[in-house]
């Protein structure tokens, strides 16, 4: 049966705060702080358990090899002889933010009736620009069934592409027919880099065989990028027929909403007014970097068919205007009926909330390589391995430590062996 599967990136053993992402305010603010990779990875596991408890199907994507030796070699360096800045770029655990792994178009939207995935090139940030090669290997293995999936390589690096973080899909609540795919891009020239280029989005839409009449290319508001929303999923999220967004998320909100309503009259737009929650508070709390999920039938809070839950970071509770607004929203009669909170604070400190940590794929779980799917028991074994192998703490100076490189490589190999994914070593 076609269902939404969330593939979470397992937080890698080198998770650290090197402040590499200009324009990502949390990451910049926490630069130089010690990190706690074991706690970070276990927080990710706990989030996956919370998703399973809601009755959702859960998948995983393994961490990438760190240090990224192959990338350093291409640059004429080695971990031992790399300038510190370059080494930090080779040690980031940033592949954990699986929303940036690829853009996904479900089978219902594509010309050949297969689910298409385009691996993101992530070229704007050096530490993320070398993720694509391992991501494509993992996705080709997870979605190896060519009758159901097609995995595309990244678009050429001329145009920046950040994957699903800048893509939303809305569809009829009855689940029939193609959806409307929305690609959100940034215009260059602002205070911070616009990571998603319109040309990259257009290329992805063409390659996926989307109906041009059911695709919208929407500019993210320059104010949102300037306020620290380096991806659209920091100010908006969509699920089913519901769009949950900040009033200042889009450059031309009125034109976008009018086009969307014309294409999908059933759409429900839950908009948070700037007068209630400022852009700054929305970004600090990551209230939009939530997983907006449809509760399975039978859930007590699903008082009406297709009711939805918002899986939010704990930080959203700590920001008073956000907490007040969310409370009023769930008490009302809207489509979002339940709030769930997860503790992903190690990831949040690098600017990655619950939604960043997962890649959504609408597909039949039976068509997916089962090694990439998890249940409670498998999560228990992964958690035990993390507790045995992941470093407890990394201080910035440890990034240059050969002992840390060895521990990280051993930990990753042990995880891949446990998952029966040695093919990715």
Interface residues toward ligand SUG, by CB under 6 A: 18-21, 24, 27, 92, 94, 97, 99-100, 125, 128, 165, 230-231, 233-234, 350-352, 356
Q: Which of 162, 315, 340, 346 is catalytic?
A: 162
231 is catalytic: yes
Say which residue the tokens 């050949």 belong to. Answer: 112
Smallest gap from residue 200 Cβ to ligand SUG (A): 15
The residue (of 97 and 143) whose beta carbon lies closer to ligand SUG is 97
Question: CA separation (Å) from 135 to 270, 300, 337?
Answer: 33, 38, 35
Angle at 373 between CA 106 and CA 294, to 5 degrees: 50
Smallest gap from residue 125 Cβ to ligand SUG (A): 6
Say which residue the tokens 């297969």 belong to. Answer: 114
The residue (of 114 and 358) whose beta carbon lies closer to ligand SUG is 358
Sign, CA dihedral 397-401-405-411, equals negative
The residue (of 264 and 282) whose beta carbon lies closer to ligand SUG is 282
Structure tokens at 119: 């691996």
Smallest gap from residue 18 Cβ to ligand SUG (A): 4
Q: Which of 116, 231, 241, 389 is catalytic?
A: 231
356 is catalytic: yes
Closest CA to 109 of 260, 237, 211, 6: 211
Smallest gap from residue 28 Cβ to ligand SUG (A): 8
Number of alpha helices (DSSP H) and beta strands (DSSP E) in the chain: 15, 16
Give strand ranges (E) for 229-365: 236-239, 242-246, 268-272, 291-294, 308-313, 336-342, 358-363
The residue (of 65 and 128) whose beta carbon lies closer to ligand SUG is 128
The residue (of 125 and 361) whose beta carbon lies closer to ligand SUG is 125
Between strands 215-219 and 180-185, the pairing is: parallel
Smallest gap from residue 189 Cβ to ligand SUG (A): 20
User: What is the set of active-site residues?
Assistant: 162, 231, 356
């Amino acid at each position: 049966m076609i269902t939404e599967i969330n593939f979470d990136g397992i937080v890698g053993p080198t998770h650290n705060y090197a402040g590499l992402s200009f324009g990502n305010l949390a990451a910049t603010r926490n630069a130089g702080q010690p990190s706690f990779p074991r706690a970070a990875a276990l927080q990710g596991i706990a989030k996956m358990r919370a998703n399973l408890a809601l009755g959702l199907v859960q998948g995983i994507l393994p961490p990438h090899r760190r240090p990224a030796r192959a990338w350093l070699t291409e640059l004429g360096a080695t971990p031992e002889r790399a300038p510190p800045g370059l080494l930090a770029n080779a040690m980031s655990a940033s592949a954990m933010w699986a929303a940036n792994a690829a853009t996904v178009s479900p089978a219902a939207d594509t010309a050949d009736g297969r689910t298409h995935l385009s691996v993101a090139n992530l070229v704007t940030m050096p530490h993320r620009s070398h993720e694509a090669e391992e991501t494509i290997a993992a996705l080709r293995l997870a979605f190896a069934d060519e009758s159901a999936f097609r995995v595309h390589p990244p678009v050429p690096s001329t145009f920046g592409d950040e994957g699903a973080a800048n893509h939303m899909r809305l569809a009829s609540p009855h689940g029939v027919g193609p959806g409307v795919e929305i690609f959100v891009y940034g215009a260059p020239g602002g205070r911070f880099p616009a990571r998603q280029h319109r040309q990259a989005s257009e290329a992805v839409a063409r390659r996926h065989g989307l109906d041009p009449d059911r695709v919208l290319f929407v500019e993210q508001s320059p104010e949102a990028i300037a306020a620290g929303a380096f991806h659209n999923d920091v100010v908006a999220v969509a699920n089913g027929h519901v769009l949950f967004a900040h009033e200042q998320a889009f450059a031309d909100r009125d034109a976008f909403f009018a086009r969307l309503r014309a294409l999908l009259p059933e759409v429900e737009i839950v908009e948070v007014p700037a007068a209630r929650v400022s852009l700054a508070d929305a970004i600090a709390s990551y209230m939009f970097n939530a997983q907006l999920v449809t509760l399975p039938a039978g859930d007590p809070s699903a008082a009406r068919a297709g009711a939805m839950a918002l899986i939010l970071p704990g930080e959203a509770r700590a920001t008073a205007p956000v907490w007040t607004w969310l409370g009023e929203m769930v008490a009302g009669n809207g489509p979002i009926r339940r709030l769930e909170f997860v503790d992903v604070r190690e990831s949040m400190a690098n600017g990655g909330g619950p939604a960043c940590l997962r890649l959504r794929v609408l597909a039949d779980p039976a068509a997916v390589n089962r090694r990439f799917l998890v249940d409670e028991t498998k999560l228990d074994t992964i958690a035990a391995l993390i507790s045995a192998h992941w470093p407890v703490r990394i201080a910035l100076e440890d990034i240059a430590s050969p002992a840390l490189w060895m521990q990280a490589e051993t930990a990753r190999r042990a995880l891949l062996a446990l998952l029966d994914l040695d093919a990715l070593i």
